[in-house]
Amino acid sequence: MRVSTANMFDSSISTLQRRQQSMQESQQKLTSGKRIEYASDDPTGAARAERALSSIERVDANQRALEASRNNMSLGESALGDANEILQQIREAMVAAGNATYSDPEREGLAKKITGLRDQLLSIANRPDGSGGFVFAGQGAEGAPFIDAPGGVTYIGTPGSVQSGNLEQYAMSIDGRMAWEQARSGNGTFVTAVQPNTVDPSNPPAKSWIDAGRVSNPALLTGSSYQVQVSGSGATATYSVLDITNGTTVATGPFASGKTIDFDGISVTLTGQAADGDMFSIEPSAVGLGVFDVLDGTIAELRTPLRGDTQIAQTNAMRLRDLDSVIGNMQNMRTEVGERLNNLDGSQSRMSSLKLYNQTEQSAAEDLDMIQGISDFQNQQAGYDAALKTYASVQRMSLFQYLNL
């Protein structure tokens, strides 16, 4: 095959251009640190890097939702802690109000103190979350979720909790109704209460009083409603317990102040002076006891003058029971919020690991091995230099240059 001088020149220039382009591409990769600049460089590697990048963006979005949830849960946990401290102060005031030596003006003073603490609780219940909403608004409210109306505090928020919408459903708010208005009445299993005296309803409800009671044997509980009736007075007084749901008498015995009465897994204690016709009810507990209902009832009773020692002891014991119930419910909600914060910490750790894995995958797919890249660039540079020298030698090998020598 005949090879002309022009063909040799064209071939040399084409080789120089290819080597120059390859060297330029290597230089660009070294500058950017990327092995893949365009999808055409490596379609498989580009797809792998794109999948990793999509996963990283999803993790970033989830982390933003997590931080928003953490902020709201931290605000809620702090608010519940503040509310619990105030409720403990109210409980101390109520214990003091049970002192038989206190006068009506002294109990009025305690009522004013509890009123001030109640107003602080209402402020906590309507605490803003810093983003235009409220910590206890649940699934949303047009304004403050708790309204202090003439008939008492009303919850106008939407029960429930807003979720983030991602796979793990981070809570973005706290159900205010559950925290403030959904305690179980009584001791959590049943509710004791005094009833009008059946012999002389015009007198105070009873000469004796009943405590909050307790469960002695959960296996024997029936869920029925009961009445405890006192017959006679003094040393001859007796009691009888009627299961009004089934219409049967389940217990009878002599009345003795401070003695425990046991029946159907329930234990209650009657204290004080027996009076013929005294009657007490025992009903199954239900959900729906609100913090502000308990406080409003307590304030009203403390401001009622001329109550006897029995009335004071009975109402104070019942209000302490109800207050303990709402405190317990709020502590349970605080525990739940704390558990959510713990879950967020665990979720954040998992997301950090997932993000690191995808960043590693992305880097492995598209990043340049710098040592290999430098080596390739140096080899291409040496090849380009050799091609230049070869071209310089070839271009002098023409007949005209030879004749000029």
At 206, is the pLDDT very low, low, confident or very high (cuts 50, 70, 90)? confident
Residue 311 clears pLDDT 90, i.e. is over it: no
DSSP annotation of 201? T
Q: What does the block give as tokens for 8? A: 């040799």
pLDDT digits (tens, 9 = 90+) for 330-349: 999 999 999 999 989 988 88
Residue 204 clears pLDDT 70, i.e. is over it: no
Residue 404 clears pLDDT 80, i.e. is over it: no
Three-class SS state of 270: strand
What pLDDT is recorded for position 188? 93
Tokens 């009975």 belong to 314
Mean pLDDT over each residue of the chain, to the nearest integer:
86
At 383, is the pLDDT very low, low, confident or very high (cuts 50, 70, 90)? confident
Average pLDDT over residues 150-159: 90
Q: What does the block give as tokens for 159? A: 């029960």
Residue 136 clears pLDDT 60, i.e. is over it: yes
What pLDDT is recorded for position 393? 67
At 83, is the pLDDT very low, low, confident or very high (cuts 50, 70, 90)? very high
Q: What is the C-alpha to C-alpha distance for residues 9 and 258, in angstroms, rounded to an integer?
A: 120
CB 293 within 8 A of CB 109: no
What pLDDT is recorded for position 369? 65
**pTM score, two decimals?**
0.78
What is the CATH topology of the domain spanning 37-184+288-367?
A: f41 fragment of flagellin, N-terminal domain (1.20.1330)
Task: Out of 248-257, 329-338, 354-363, pick the least confident.
Answer: 354-363
CB 237 within 8 A of CB 256: no
Give percent of the chain above pLDDT 90. 51
At 359, is the pLDDT very low, low, confident or very high (cuts 50, 70, 90)? confident
What pLDDT is recorded for position 403? 58
Average pLDDT over residues 196-212: 80
Question: Each residue of 300-332: b (16+ CB within 10 Å) or e?
Answer: ebbeeeebeebbbbbbbbbbbbbbbbbbebbee
What pLDDT is recorded for position 207? 80
Average pLDDT over residues 363-367: 74
What pLDDT is recorded for position 251? 96
Instruction: Please indicate whether residue 391 or residue 405 has the higher confidence score (pLDDT).
Output: 391
Three-class SS state of 5: helix
What pLDDT is recorded for position 252? 96
What pLDDT is recorded for position 187? 93
- Number of Cβ within a 10 Å radius of residue 92: 12
At 399, is the pLDDT very low, low, confident or very high (cuts 50, 70, 90)? low
Task: Out of 95-99, 130-134, 250-254, pick the least confident.
Answer: 130-134
What pLDDT is recorded for position 140? 81
Which range is most confident: 11-25, 36-50, 191-205, 372-386? 191-205
What pLDDT is recorded for position 28? 74
Give percent of the chain above pLDDT 70. 90
Bridge partners of 226, per DSSP, are: 243, 282
Q: What does the block give as tokens for 126? A: 């309507």
At 261, is the pLDDT very low, low, confident or very high (cuts 50, 70, 90)? very high
CB 69 within 8 A of CB 104: no
At 18, is the pLDDT very low, low, confident or very high (cuts 50, 70, 90)? confident
Residue 90 clears pLDDT 90, i.e. is over it: yes
Instruction: Please indicate whether residue 19 or residue 341 has the higher confidence score (pLDDT).
Output: 341
At 2, is the pLDDT very low, low, confident or very high (cuts 50, 70, 90)? low
pLDDT digits (tens, 9 = 90+) for 32-71: 677 777 667 778 877 887 888 888 888 888 899 899 889 9
- Number of Cβ within a 10 Å radius of residue 238: 13
Q: What does the block give as tokens for 259? A: 């003695």
Those residues with Cβ within 8 angstroms of residue 359's Cβ, 6 or more apart along the chain or in another chain: 52, 56
Average pLDDT over residues 67-81: 93
Three-class SS state of 271: strand
Three-class SS state of 98: coil
Q: What is the C-alpha to C-alpha distance for residues 265 and 222, in angstroms, rounded to an integer?
A: 8
Q: What is the C-alpha to C-alpha distance for residues 249 and 77, in angstroms, rounded to an integer?
A: 48
